[in-house]
Structure 1
Amino acid sequence: MSAQGSRPEDFEISSEDFEQEFTFEVEDGLAKTVQVRRKGRGLVVNIRYQDDALSDHTDEAFEADGAITITAAEGGIFISSFRSLLSDRVRLRRTRFF
């Protein structure tokens, strides 16, 4: 598995609008593309697997307060974010692998 393209391995994204695409070769001919889009608090992650005979597509949406951290790893990316709950009395930290 290898990540394609030139980008930092670990970077932080502020609450401004953002869009980035990451491509990984999973195995012989099977590619995984992860697209991250942020608009305000909304964050949408689009995951696509594709080869000559197969195509699969999944969208996941969630909200994040403040900056999020993206870490490129072998075979995908980790996204770490925070979300305020209960009138800002609780901060939920979320780390997901896509």
Structure 2
Amino acid sequence: MARRPLPRILSTGSAQIARSRELARTAADSATDVLHPLITITRGLRRLASAGRRRWADTPKDRRGPLLFLVASVVLVVALVPYGPLPPSSP
């Protein structure tokens, strides 16, 4: 019994499929290169958030208010650092 030839779409499209796969791999590699710093920062923030939640759960309830005030004041100071100190007022 003679072999039937492959359907035309499979016999002529293999080179095109290989090029498409290569293009997809190149695009994925480029996206990974571009997004790697963002991925790293996200992982670090996630670890910091989990450590903060753990610390918050370990803190006694009567000390959470002052701790929250301290954290908020530190965040405010860090947010205002780019503006520098206030200029001295002239009399």
User: TM-score when scaled to structure 2?
Assistant: 0.19
Higher RCO structure, 1 or 2 (CA under 8 Å, sep 6+): 1
- Structure showing greater Rg: 2
Higher helix share: 2
